[in-house]
Amino acid sequence: MKFRLEDITKEGQEATFFQSEGWLDERLKGEEKRTFHFTGPIRVHLNLSKVGRVVRVRSQTETRGKWLCARCLEPFSLVLTSEFNTTLKPRPDFVLLEEAELTREDLDIDFYEGEEIDLTLLVQDQVLLTLPQKPLCREECRGLCPRCGKNLNREVCSCPPRFMDSRFEPLKNIKIH
């Protein structure tokens, strides 16, 4: 997803990319037990505009994936979408030697070098930030019974309603004054 600065006009430049399901595999290599996989291409729509050497990037992403529910461990499908705006400026030649306080606007700025802008990592980060931390098949998912392991969304178990982990049994005798 590289763009030459001279090709970006004030009116803007738009582009749509379709990346394969494995596009983020290299970035996700550290994930030991991945509970999801992408099931279709990752669609990326970019709109770039330029004023002087400052480039404004608006991007939209959409992808489909299959996850394991964090509560009931059942597979489910999910569509992830995101929108992202950022401003790109030429990387300054100097380095600040003292501390500087960032403003809210500073967080939406990134830098580029040379006459070409590569948005690949920026867009990959955008997609990775949309991944759910705790994927749920539905908000009211009841999960698994901690004692017998039955899926409580599909069946009712006959376990006693108040199950106490035996490791916490000694705590019942503690008296606080």
This prediction has a pTM of 0.72
C-alpha 86/C-alpha 110 separation (Å) is 7
Does residue 93 carry a pLDDT above 80? no
Model confidence at 151, pLDDT cuts 50, 70, 90, reads: very high
Tokens describing residue 2: 């590289």
Mean pLDDT is highest, among 3-7, 47-51, 94-98, for 47-51
Looking at residue 169, the DSSP 8-state letter turns out to be: G
Residues 6+ apart with CB under 8 A from 91: 111, 112, 113
**34 touches 24 (CB < 8 A):** no
Report pLDDT for 172: 80
Q: Are 145 and 66 within 8 A, CB to CB?
A: no
User: What distance in Å separates the CA atoms of residue 125 and residue 1, rounded to the nearest whole number?
Assistant: 13
